[in-house]
Structure formats: C-alpha cells, structure tokens
Amino acid sequence: KAGVTQTPRYLIKTRGQQVTLSCSPISGHRSVSWYQQTPGQGLQFLFEYFSETQRNKGNFPGRFSGRQFSNSRSEMNVSTLELGDSALYLCASRPGQGARDTQYFGPGTRLTVL
C-alpha cells in the first residue's frame, strides 16, 4: 500500500497570506490527524477528522482549520499567517478512531513564513 502523502513538501509564504496543505491517507484509512512540529515543542495536535467530521481539536486559534473529503483526503488551511506558524506540518492516518489504532505519518510539509 502506498503511504501517507502530503503536498506540497515545502512552502514559503509571507505574513498575512493564507495557505492550504493537503494530505492523502493510506487507502482504507478513515481517520486523518494534523500536527504542528516545531523545535523544542515537539508535536502539537491540531485536529482529527473521521468520516468528514472533525472529532477532536487541539488548542490552536481559529486561523487553523481543516476539512476532510468523502475519499478521506484532508486539507488544512491557515489564514493570516504569522511568523510563528513556521513549522513542519505532519499528517497522520489510521484505520479507525480507537486509541489502539496506530497512526502512520506522512513526510510533512515544511512551511516557512517570512
């Protein structure tokens, strides 16, 4: 099976712009989670989608949003970018929603905000 794919891999934006990141989960996986990774902060949970519905949300401002399509592909959007949004954004998919369902990660999208 193909792994989790994320596009684009790298992105440079300026403050105030908005950005959309895309994630295609492993075939058959219905849950997609998004994480922000910055040095020293580790992985911060953004949100999780399952069957096109947001099921969990982390402690991020409303500028961060997401959605999931019927084919389980997911997008996340960040509006009004700030310098502090520079990070590696990771997407992870898993078959279901149980705590035992292993997450499989994509390579990430490196976002740089200038």
Cβ nearer to another protein, comparing 79 with 101: 101
Three-state secondary structure call for residue 71: coil
CB 80 → another protein: shortest distance, Å? 27
Give the separation between CA 67 and CA 87, rounded to whole angstroms.
Answer: 20
Cβ nearer to another protein, comparing 43 with 79: 43
Residue type, 114: L
CB 16 → another protein: shortest distance, Å? 28
Report residue 77 as tokens: 């959007």
Cβ nearer to another protein, comparing 9 with 15: 9
CB 27 → another protein: shortest distance, Å? 17
CB 44 → another protein: shortest distance, Å? 9
- In the complex, the residues that contact another protein under the rule CB under 8 A are 4, 33, 35, 40-43, 45, 48, 55-56, 90, 92, 97-108
* DSSP output for 76-113: EEE-S--GGG-EEEEEEEESSSSTTS--EE---EEEEE
Cβ nearer to another protein, comparing 38 with 71: 38
With beta carbons less than 8 A apart as the criterion, state whether 92 and 32 touch.
yes
